[in-house]
Amino acid sequence: YMGICLGAQLLAKAAGAKVVKSPQKEIGFFDVALTPEGEKDLLFKGAPASLNVYQWHEDMFHIPERGKLLAGSSACPHQAFKVGANAYGLQFHVEITDQSIRQWSDEYLSRHPDFLSKKEEMLEKYKRIKENTTILTSKLRELSRLKQGQLIDLDTFKVRIVEKISL
């Protein structure tokens, strides 16, 4: 299972953890740091210890009792976790594209007209750090091939699981 943003919060909740307001609302690109556990995990192994990733949230999950914290930041200490052998939760968006930044921003702009400069800033930043997103999506594809019966298709943002999550 791969839960991104709300999907990560739902995974945490299903595994018995709380979901609360994040210490800081994050919209845009922010740095997250891998924990020592995260640096060793198959999902992040070989990735830089600090990643600049796309965020759009104001809530945060707690780590389930049997979960492992894989990444965090000062603004939101719980950014990535793993439960069992094959259930991951990421608070940040590795599936982001320039098109999705435009769509999300345009929807948000309808309620927050002062957001236009932030939208342009995010699109420029995406162009500069697109490689980080490519690295992580490649790792996700690699990991999905390692888990028998699991398919992660980030190109169409669909996740289908045909095996149980082992908690």
- Residue numbers annotated as active site: 5, 93, 95
Question: Can you list the pairs that 145-152 forms with residues at least 24 positions away whose Cβ atoms lie under 8 Å?
Answer: 146/42, 147/86, 150/1, 150/86, 152/2
Joined tokens for residue 37: 């556990």
Decide the pairing of beta strands 158-161 and 150-153.
antiparallel
> How far apart, in whole angstroms, are the C-alpha atoms of residue 18 and residue 98?
32
